[in-house]
Amino acid sequence: MKLPVRVYIEPDPIDIEEIIERPEQKLEKLGDQVANIIYTVQEDGDEALLEFTRTFDGVDIDSLEVSPEEVEAGSRLVSQELRDAMERAKRNITAFHQAQGKKEPLVETEPGVFCWRKNRPIERVGVYIPGGTAPLFSSVLMLCIPAVLAGCKDIILTTPPGPEGNIHPAILYAASISGVTEIYKVGGAQAIAALAYGTETIPQVDKIFGPGNRYVTMAKQMVSVDTVAIDMPAGPSEVLIIADNDADPAVLAADMLSQAEHGFDSQSLLIVPDPMLSNKVIEQLKVQLERLPRKEYAAASLKYSRIICTRQKKKALELINRYAPEHLIFLRDDWDQWDEEINNAGSVFIGPWSPESAGDYASGTNHTLPTSGWARSYSGVSLESFQKHITYQRLTQEGFLSLAPTIEILAATEGLEAHRMAVEIRRRALAIPGKAEDNGVQKKGGLPT
């Protein structure tokens, strides 16, 4: 068997452009179809959702809502071993995300000018979980646990029903331990439309999270410019592994395949010093591929895989930072000499005992990460993804009077006379006895406590 993996030895600048190219995503083609689904849901609400579920999921359901009894009955089917594993993942995800909640300082930017920020939860969040044979309950944990920690009031989960009209027990159990407040049986672009605009049954949310197929991705893009925020732009999953010659070829092959099995368009890049190691990895890929139940995915997506052999650190760093991988696995002993120069990546896995699966499931970091090069500008999901901050200011009379001339000249220069006037009129009020007294900043509660 010949694998379609491309190997580059000391790539030149033209090779580098080719290496960092992603498998092409042709979302635009879906535009009309998805727009039509969204429009129909806006018009017909629940009826449209039930109809689309019949059409796309092939199942006729009576009710969109999943009852507490269904959750309980489903949860009972989950083995104790799986429950324990989910609970452990939950503890670690909680520990890591809880540490992200920080109190902001009160800043007196100049005498009598107090500015501060406060984090506030996004009130209603929607979490989309894809259906299919493999129940992605880990995304339930990754998205709902931080939402609870952030203080979100309503955490609304939607996921398509299976052929019997049920939700997979593992998803129901994960939802029950993650603080989900409502669950609805609806998938695809129609679920995103329901969360974005609300229907008779499904409440409109403020932000939508979660993975999905191309229809879901397109729908998230479309609603995100209109009414609702989304976690981040989505693309196929990807990994970049950088290893030294001491790395175990079997481990390198396993790490490449654990990315490649995600789907036909997943991408694995590997940077090694020597072609010799590259050859060993390819041998291992062949051996391990045979053992995989999802080998048709993995084998197909290997055509997007590249192995790059280079001894030049500068070139390797350029590749990493320009590619901006979702996952970066660092199997080199000299990590500490690279650390400061890694600027673009979603999540980094350091050393031989940190497989990507650790972060995908149980170490505590979030697995919802920027793909397709978005790591240049986006972070993965964190506590902050479920919050926004509000800025506050309170000026004392003295602070105001001192800053007033500065504000007035700046406003006047921008031609915003009413902005200047809002300052002048306060200055003038001071000249009138009994007007606009300031008990302001001394009062209890005027500044954050």
Active site residues: 326-327
Position among 156, 159, 346, 371 found at the interface with its own copies (CB under 8 A): 346
Query: Is 443 an interacting residue with respect to its own copies (CB under 8 A)?
Result: yes
Question: How far is the C-alpha of 161 from the C-alpha of 366, rounded, in Å?
Answer: 26
Rounded least distance, CB 77 to its own copies, Å: 12
Contact status: 92 vs its own copies (CB under 8 A): yes
- By CB under 8 A, residue 16 contacts its own copies: no
Please tell me whether residue 91 binds its own copies under the rule CB under 8 A.
yes
Could you identify the residue written with the tokens 């727009």? Answer: 35
Q: C-alpha angle with apex 341: 375 to 262, nearest 5 degrees?
A: 35
Query: Binding of its own copies at residue 122 (CB under 8 A)?
Result: yes
> Of 86 and 307, which CB lies nearer to its own copies in the complex structure?
86
- DSSP secondary structure of 145-190: HHHHHHT-SEEEEEE---TTS---HHHHHHHHHHT--EEEE--HHH
Binding residue (CB under 8 A) for its own copies from 82, 148, 300, 317? 82
DSSP E strands, 277-412: 306-309, 327-331, 347-350, 387-395
Q: Which of 180, 195, 211, 261 binds its own copies (CB under 8 A)?
A: 261
Q: What is the CA 89 to chain-centroid distance, rounded?
A: 18
What x-and-dash track marks residues 384-403 binding its own copies by CB under 8 A? x---xxxxxxxxxx-xx--x
Q: Which residue do the tokens 């000391």 mark?
A: 10
Instruction: Among 113, 148, 300, 317, indicate the residue that binds its own copies (CB under 8 A).
Output: 113
Encoded tokens for 59: 């199942």
Distance of CA 304 to the CA centre of its chain: 23
Min CB(448)–its own copies separation in Å: 8
Residue 75 touching its own copies (CB under 8 A): no
Residue 239 phi/psi, 5-degree rounding, is: -140, 145
DSSP letter for each residue of 307-335: EEE---HHHHHHHHHHH--SEEEEE-TTG
Binding to its own copies by residue 129, rule CB under 8 A?
no
Does position 105 interact with its own copies (CB under 8 A)? The reply is yes
Residues 262, 253: Cα–Cα separation, whole Å: 15
Q: Is 203 among the residues that bind its own copies (CB under 8 A)?
A: no
For its own copies, the closer CB: 64 or 253: 253
Number of residues this chain uses to bind its own copies (CB under 8 A): 141
Q: For residue 258, state whether it binds its own copies (rule: CB under 8 A).
A: yes
The residues in 283-342 that bind its own copies, with binding defined as CB under 8 A, are: 288, 291-294, 298, 333, 335-337, 339, 342
Q: How far from 56 is each of 53, 67, 223, CA to CA, in Å?
A: 5, 23, 20
Rounded-to-integer distance, Cα 93 and Cα 307, Å: 33
Region of 13-21, 54-62, 68-76, 434-442 interacting with its own copies (CB under 8 A): 434-442
Q: Does 121 bind its own copies (CB under 8 A)?
A: yes
Contact status: 136 vs its own copies (CB under 8 A):
yes
How far is the C-alpha of 438 from the C-alpha of 449, rounded, in Å?
Answer: 20
Which member of 146, 302, 349, 371 binds its own copies (CB under 8 A)? 349
- Residues numbered 22-61 forming contacts with its own copies, rule: CB under 8 A: none
Q: What are phi and psi of 116, to 5 degrees?
A: -155, 170
Q: Does 422 bind its own copies (CB under 8 A)?
A: yes
Candidates 7-15, 274-282, 302-310, 363-371: pick the segment binding its own copies (CB under 8 A).
Answer: 363-371
Asked if residues 319 and 271 have their Cβ atoms less than 8 Å apart, the reply is yes
**Stretch of 4-12, 189-197, 300-308, 354-362 contacting its own copies, by CB under 8 A:** 354-362
Greatest alpha-carbon pair distance for the chain in Å reads 92
Q: Give the range of 43-51, 56-64, 195-203, 365-373 binding its own copies by CB under 8 A.
A: 365-373
